[in-house]
């Protein structure tokens, strides 16, 4: 197990129902199977991350398969670029949709691989652990990841923030990182309903110190939503829910929603030398 103590960075060892380090810092396993590695003193709010409503909306939306093309593409690139990866990490994993599908895809090429999912949202991690018991989930900050140095073979980061120094630390030399961010036209039709002069998302490549930039791919298609529940879930899982008036939401539900999906997928390889 690659977990390290979020307080002193010593290795964590799993006991009966808790993780503990040599300095006797202890972290109990929840009944759902996850471990909370976000110490109270490192929380900026009482319940950081996406709230339960946003988590449920995203879970229900993803379960309908509206973003399955993205999951399929990420998994295809993972198998292509690092087929024998043993230690997998989903940075900002949410409720585990992408984590679970990546794990299934990688099992076809890598024997005995293990996947770890990390998110600061306790409600999201609780949901993920209940649903995907064969994966390992923890509540933790993406800016202080509780993983040992050079422990990860393959990581995905879908819409999550991160700190490059932490990526450099946890990723093995030669490991693969796949990042996903909005492409220029992502959700543009919806943005037109909110802003008088909507801006395109930036097109610049994400260059990370200590990583070789291998390639980028665009994934574009049209999203068409006609069911009220689907539109509700889509709006509530995004920041747009706060920017639309109730009248605008009613109009979208009555008319249906057609908007562009535009994902930018980038492949990074950790440099072989550990000197940064």
Q: What is the pLDDT of residues 233-264, one digit of tens each?
A: 999 888 787 888 888 889 999 999 999 999 99
Q: What is the pLDDT of residue 106?
A: 96
3-state secondary structure the chain: CCEECCCCCCECEECCCEEECCCCCEEEECCCCCEECCCHHHCCCCCCCCCHHHHHHHHHHHHCCCCHHHHHHHHHHHHHHCCCCCEEEEECCCCCHHHHHHHHHHCCCCCCCEEEEEECCHHHHHHHHHHCCCCEEEECECCECCECCCCEEEEEEECCCCCHHHHHHHEEEEEEEEEEEECCCCCHHHHHHHCCCCCCCCCCCCCCCCEEEEEEEEEEEEEEECCHHHHHHHHHCCCHHHHCCHHHHHHHHHHCEEEEEEEEEEEEEECCCCCC
> Mind listing the pLDDT tens digit for each residue in 2-33?
899 999 999 999 998 899 999 999 999 999 99
pTM of the model: 0.93
Q: What is the pLDDT of residue 52?
A: 81
Q: What is the pLDDT of residue 53?
A: 85
What CATH fold (topology level) applies to the domain 33-39+49-199+206-270? Rossmann fold (3.40.50)
Q: What is the pLDDT of residue 44?
A: 59
**Ranges in the chain, pLDDT < 50:** 274, 276
Q: What is the pLDDT of residue 182?
A: 95
Please report, for the chain, the start and end positions of each structural domain, with discontinuous segments joined by +.
33-39+49-199+206-270
Q: What is the pLDDT of residue 46?
A: 58
């Amino acid at each position: 197990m690659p977990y390290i103590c979020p307080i002193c960075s010593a290795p964590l060892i799993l006991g009966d129902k808790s993780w503990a380090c040599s300095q006797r810092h202890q972290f109990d396993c929840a009944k759902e199977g996850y471990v909370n590695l976000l110490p109270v003193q490192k929380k900026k709010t009482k319940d950081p991350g996406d709230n339960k409503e946003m988590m449920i909306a995203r879970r229900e939306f993803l379960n309908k398969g509206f973003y399955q093309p993205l999951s399929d593409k990420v998994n295809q690139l993972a198998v292509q670029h690092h087929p024998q990866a043993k230690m997998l990490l989903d940075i900002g994993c949410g409720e585990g949709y992408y984590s679970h599908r990546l794990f299934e895809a990688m099992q076809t090429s890598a024997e005995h691989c293990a996947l770890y999912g990390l998110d600061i949202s306790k409600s999201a991690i609780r949901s993920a652990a209940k649903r995907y018991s064969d994966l390992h989930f923890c509540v933790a900050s993406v800016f202080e990841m509780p993983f040992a140095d050079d422990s990860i073979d393959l990581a995905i980061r879908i819409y999550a923030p991160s700190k490059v120094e932490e990526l450099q630390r946890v990723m093995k030399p030669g490991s693969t990182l796949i990042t996903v961010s909005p492409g220029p036209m992502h959700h543009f039709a919806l943005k037109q309903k909110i802003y008088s002069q909507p801006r395109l998302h930036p097109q610049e490549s994400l260059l990370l110190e200590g990583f070789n930039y291998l390639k980028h791919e665009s994934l574009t298609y049209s999203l068409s939503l006609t069911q009220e529940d689907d539109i509700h879930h889509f709006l509530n899982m995004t920041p747009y829910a706060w920017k639309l008036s109730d009248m605008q939401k009613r109009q979208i539900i009555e008319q249906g929603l057609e908007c562009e999906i535009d994902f930018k997928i980038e492949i990074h390889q950790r440099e072989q030398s550990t000197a940064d």
